Each structure stands twice: as structure tokens, then as C-alpha cells.
Chains A and B, each alone.
Chain A
Amino acid sequence: MLKLTIKDLKLFFADKRALLLTFAIPIALITLFALAYGSMGGGKESNQTKITIADEDKTNESKSVIQQIDLLKGFRVVQTTTDSAELLVKKGDEAAILIFHKGFGDSLNAGCKPPIEFKYDAAKDAEVAILLGALEGNLIGMIGTKSMEKNAIKQFDTENPTMDSITRKTIHDQISKNFSSDESKKQTESFIKKTPLIAEEENSPNLIQAVAGTAIMMLLFSVTGMGASLLDEKQEGTLKKLMYSPLHANSILFGKMISTNIVSVFQLMVMFVFAQLAFGLEITKHIPSLLLMIMATSYACSSLGVFIASFAKTRQQVQGMSTLIILVMSGIGGSMIPIFFMPIFMQKLAIISINYWSIQGFFDVFWRMLPITDITFLTRILVLVLIGTVLNIIALQMFKKNSLKIS
């Protein structure tokens, strides 16, 4: 029995693939999810929440409040114009923005409700809720009680014009004292106007996230398998036989890449059609931009599949490598967890993954409904095409080195 155990252990430790699946992949995934949920890594800087503010008022009062927000622990203020700020939300770069409209200072001094507006992307509801909760609590402390206190004093003075100055000051002090209590802050109704810049019209953001995230991850797995079929051809001798023919070596590889690409396009199309039929994802109004994004995604994904296969010498190696790479990329790219749940540094890291660009692209199509000519949408297409092209160039060289080499 002991001999059997020792033999099995020897075989296990000699099997690199088994070791990879048993130790390396779980460790990589634990690290990834730990980072993604923010339980480790990232210093104070990375945990700061960025808030984009547009100051249309530009008075001492608005500047003072913005400065106070910037000084708050956990907030980092970026100022820009209203148009630019709104564009950031519309293109998915920001979840929400805060606008101090003209007349903010005057309203504050007059004890009226100050014109502050919180504009947001309804797709990022969780992120928006956290941001709004943190902002409201602090803003009420900074603006709200002050404004209402002034309003109460003003109202008292209007109603009691003949009162002597000593009594009036005593009552003013009492009103101020009442407004500085925590209880009054809690009871104060929010004065921030909330406006969704992008709201649910035809597609639910959760559905888009589920369909796009899953479709891309599964596509990566299937295209890796197809890329690896070139290794099967090598093992079975058909690759060598192809090389006897007048075909150029590059044609053999491009033929494989194109077939993988076609299957990828078809697979994504089927997935989106299924999502429409089964879950009501509205795709018919966005056919051109959807097709463009599907083609760019397929190109990038199939290139990754061929790229991974080009580094391996056997199908088993491809399986081990692809499982690790795809799960990590899907994790950081937003296929498993929406990226706004992740710390800032992880969100920055997401741009290295195909998943990120594709998911954002599908949100452009179904949620933000950007036109096909929109520069943000086209940039995502371009990035995917660039990723695919770079991977293909490397894969071509690696295939020539690893697969087409006859000894």
C-alpha cells in the first residue's frame, strides 16, 4: 500500500500539468480575487475614490466646499467642465460627477437650497450608491446644515422684526446649536439633485454584464482549443503533409487563424441572439456596431488562442497555460466581477485584458448606445485590433520556431 502511495506521489509530482492545476492556478486565482475584492494590496493612494467635479459657480463658497471635499480622507477631486464631466460618464470612464451650478454661493448665503447636482451612470449602481452615500453625508455637514441654519434664522427675523438685539442673538445662538447636533444632520433631507445621465431604456446593465462577460470568457476557452488544433496537426502528421504542398508556411497559419476567427464571430453572434431570445437583450437596434464589436473581439480572442498555442509544444501544455491566462484575464478584465468593485490599481490593470475592452465595447453598444462613429467606441475597436495583431505577429514567429521546425 505504501509503495502504491509513493508511486502515485512520484507520478503526480512528475506531471507538470497536474502541479500547475493543483497549485499554480488556485494560487493565482486566490491572489486575483483577493486583489479584486480589495482585501490586500494597494496603499492609501489606491483606495482613494476619485470624484470628478464641475464648478460652474466659481465663487469662494463653491471653491471652499470643493477644497473641503478634496481634504476628506478617501476622496480625490478632479475638476473639469460640465461638458467634459458628462462625457466621462456617458463614455463609461466615470460612474458619476458632481456639478456646482451657477448661483451656488448666492443660494448658500441666502439660506436657500444650493444648486448641486449629482449625475450618474445607472449601470454602475453599486459604485454610484457607495459614492453618493459618502458624498451626501459629508456635504450635508459642509453645506446643508449651514444653509438651513441661515434659512431658519432668516425666517425667524422676518417673523419677528421688532425683537430686541440681545434676545435675538440668544435665539440665533440656540438655532445654530440645534443645527450643529448630529440628530439634525440625520434628519436633514438630502438637497443634492440626482440625475441619471444614462438610464435603463431597453437593456439592463446587469444583463449586458452577464452576457458580455460570460461570452468573452467562454470564447477565449473555445478559441484556445481551436488554436491548439495546430499542435494536433503536428502530432498527427498532417501539418508536415501540408508543408509538402505548394502552400506557403504563413498561409497554413493564417488559414488556421481565419477559421478560428470565423468560428469566434459565429459563437459570439449565437450567444447574443440567444441572450435576446431567452432574456430579452435588445440587439436588433444596434446591428452594425454590435457586428463591429463582435468582429474586433473575435479577432483579439482568436489571436490570443493562437498565441497561447504557439508557445506550447503539446495540447496538454496549451490547456494548462490557457486555463491560467484566461481565468486571470477574465478576473481582472471584468468577466467575473464588474471592474468597479475592484480597487483603483486593479481597475488600471484591467486595460491589459481583452475582456475589459470587449465588455466596455458591448456596454458602449447596448447601454451607452454610442454611435458607430463615436471616437470612444472606435478606440476600443482599435485597441482590440491592435492587441490581436501584436499577438498574431508574435504567434507567427513562435509557430515557425516551435511547430514548423523539422528536425
Chain B
Amino acid sequence: MIKVTNLKKSFNSIEALKGISFDIKQGEFYGLLGPNGAGKTTTINIMSTILEQDEGTVTINGFDLKLNTKDCKKTIGVVPQEIALYDELSAYSNLMFWGSLYNISKADLKLRINETLKLFGLFDRRNDKVKTYSGGMKRRVNIASALLHNPKVIFMDEPTVGIDPQSRNLIFEVIEKLHNDGMTIIYTTHYMQEAERFCDRIGIIDKGEIIAQGTLDELKTTLKMNETIVVSYNTISDEIFTKISAQWKDLKRTENAIHFYSSNIKNDLSKVIIMCSDLGLDILNIDIQKVNLESIFLNLTGKQLRD
């Protein structure tokens, strides 16, 4: 469905993309994650046709982006991070305008707008000016406006930033429906839970390069990341820590805790507790940290997902 090959882009002397490549299958939910300035916005801008690459190719639904820009534009829908609507117009008028840019017949467009408004729970307030809406409602209209022409691929750039839980849940429901209906979705987010919940595959981009790619399980396996038993304490002497280090090689000491890395948490948990008790460690708390996207991201980029 989407094939990105050796994509390069520079802004003056800054190399924003250093030759990234990835494929996305039809109906796949692909999460593109990366810290700020990593190159994900540049990638999305190129794939959504508003920025031209220096090198490399992008094909969407069989169309080369550079050669068949207009065909590509008809195939894709883009939900930008900013709420790009006309505040003085009603939701209905906004959707009518954005939909009309795609040469949809007026009758079909009206039908589609009504369906979409119902889907997003906005039908009853369709004639109210957008400026009277809450942030969450505006976000819903923002997403709805990208769906009117039934795109095969949709790019969603942090579609749930700064909204209330009710709107977020509604948006999640719609996103899941779109996914179930077979739409190809490219999603960027700073919320780990969203990426873990929706994404079939994840690409992690940093400093203009894709540094890891795959399903969550594939990333765990590839990176050989272990789960962690975190033992917190009040105080620890150097002597006790030396003894613990001698018995457990894969660990890390922080200010008030020791992180024991384990590939088999079921067996290792009791061993760690007994060892710490026997050596006289004043245990305050024991916590188990499973491998998740956040830890993978941190491991790969050295940064939190929200950084």
C-alpha cells in the first residue's frame, strides 16, 4: 500500500531525513514514533504531499508521489495536529467546504457529512458555529473533515492532543472502526498507551533514521529487553551493594533503588527478595516493570516518548 524507499530531506545544512525506508501494508495501523525533531513530521509532510523530498521515492496505492501527486492526494486523508477549521462557520459548513475540495457530488457529500457527524456524535450540533465548540468537539470535526472523501490511507498527527476523556474515547472508537473497516492508518502520538493499543506495527525514528521497526513483540525480541524488578530501600551500605552485585550481574543502582533485570520474572522474583533479605537490605518497596513501548523507546532513543 505504502512504500517508502531511501527518503532524504535536508533543510539548509540540517539533514532531517537520512534515507529512511519502510513499507506499510493495506489495512495496517502503523505508528510512527520519535522524539521532537526526529524527522517524523518531515516524513508525514512528504507522504502527505506538501513537502518535496530531495531523494528517494514514496508510492501510495501504486502511485508515485512525485509523478502522480494529484492521484495520491485523492487517496489520502490527513488529520493535522492543529485544529484547522473555520471558527465562524458551522461544523456542517466546514465539512461541506472541506469535502467539496475532493469533487464529491453534492448529494453524496451531504450523505457522507451526515454519517460522519453521527459517527462523531456531533449531528445535533451540526449547525452551531465551530467557535462555540469545546476543544474535544473541534478535534472531532477536524478528524471528520479528513474522512469525507473515503480515503484509503489516513495520516493522523497526534489527533488526541489536549482533549477531554469523553472526546478521546469517542475518537478511539472511530479510529478502531476505521481500522476494522480496512483503512490504512499512519499514526503519530506521544501517548504510549495509544500506540500500544492501536498500532499493528511501530517505526521508531530518531535523528532522521528509522532505528527500529516491527510489532511490539518483535521490538521486545529484537532488542532483547528484560523485565525489571525494582527494589526500593531507605539506605544501603557499599558492602551490601557489593555483595548483591556479586550474586546478580545484570542490575543497575539508582539513588533509592536497585533495578534487577530478568528474563524470567516468575522464577527470579522470589530469588531477588530472598537474596536482599539475607544480605540485610532494608527493603521499602518492590515493583515489577514490564517491557513496554515506553521502555523500548527510552532504551532506543535515550528519551521519554513525551520529550
A interface residues, Cβ below 8 angstroms from B: 236-238, 240-247, 406-407
Q: List 19 A-B contacts (CB under 8 A).
A: A237-B80, A237-B83, A237-B84, A238-B84, A238-B86, A240-B50, A241-B78, A241-B80, A244-B48, A244-B50, A244-B78, A245-B73, A245-B101, A245-B102, A246-B70, A246-B74, A406-B45, A406-B51, A407-B11
Given contacts A242-B101, A244-B49, A245-B102, contact A236 B74 (CB under 8 A): no
- The reply to whether A244 and B82 form a contact with Cβ atoms under 8 Å apart is no
| Alpha-carbon gap, A244 to B84, bound state (A) | 12
- Per CB-CB distance, the 7 closest pairs between chain A and chain B, nearest first, are A237-B82, A237-B84, A245-B101, A241-B84, A244-B78, A246-B73, A243-B50
Contacts of B76 in A (CB 8 A): 244
Any chain A CB within 8 A of the CB of B133? no
Cβ of B70: which chain A residues have Cβ within 8 Å of it?
A: 246
| B interface: dominant SS | loop
Query: Is B236 part of the binding interface, using a Cβ–Cβ cutoff of 8 Å?
Result: no
| Interchain CA distance A243-B78 in the complex, whole Å | 10
Residue of A236, A247, A406 touching B82 (CB-CB under 8 A): A236
Is residue B85 within 8 Å, beta carbon to beta carbon, of the partner chain? yes
Tally of contacts, chain A with chain B, CB under 8 A: 43
- A237-B83, A240-B80 known; A247+B101 contact, CB < 8 A: yes
A246-B101 Cα distance, complex, nearest whole Å? 7
B positions within 8 Å CB-CB of A: 11, 45, 48-51, 70, 73-74, 76, 78, 80, 82-86, 98, 101-103, 145
Take A236-B82, A236-B84 as given contacts and tell me if A241 and B98 are in contact as well, using a CB distance cutoff of 8 Å: yes
Distance, CA A406 to CA B50, complexed state (A)? 7
CA–CA, A407 and B39, complex, Å: 11
CB-CB under 8 A from A247, the residues of chain B are 101
Partner of A238, one of B45, B51, B85: B85
Q: How far is the CB of A244 from chain B (nearest CB, A)?
A: 4
**Inter-chain contacts of A236 with B (CB < 8 A):** 82, 84
Q: How far is the CB of B91 from chain A (nearest CB, A)?
A: 15
Residues of A within 8 A of B101 (CB): 242, 245-247
**Chain B: minimal CB distance from A215 (Å):** 27
C-alpha gap A245/B76 in the complex (Å): 9
A235 closest partner in B (C-beta): B82
The docked-state distance in angstroms from the alpha carbon of A241 to that of B50 is: 9
Residues on A with beta carbons closer than 8 Å to the beta carbon of B98:
241, 245
Interchain nearest-CB distance for A238 vs B (Å): 5
Complex CA gap A245/B49 in Å reads: 9
Among A244, A246, A406: residue with most chain B CB under 10 A: A244
Give 6 new A-B contacts, CB below 8 A, not counting A238-B84, A244-B73. A237-B83, A238-B86, A241-B80, A244-B49, A245-B98, A247-B101
Give the nearest-CB partner of B11 in chain A: A407
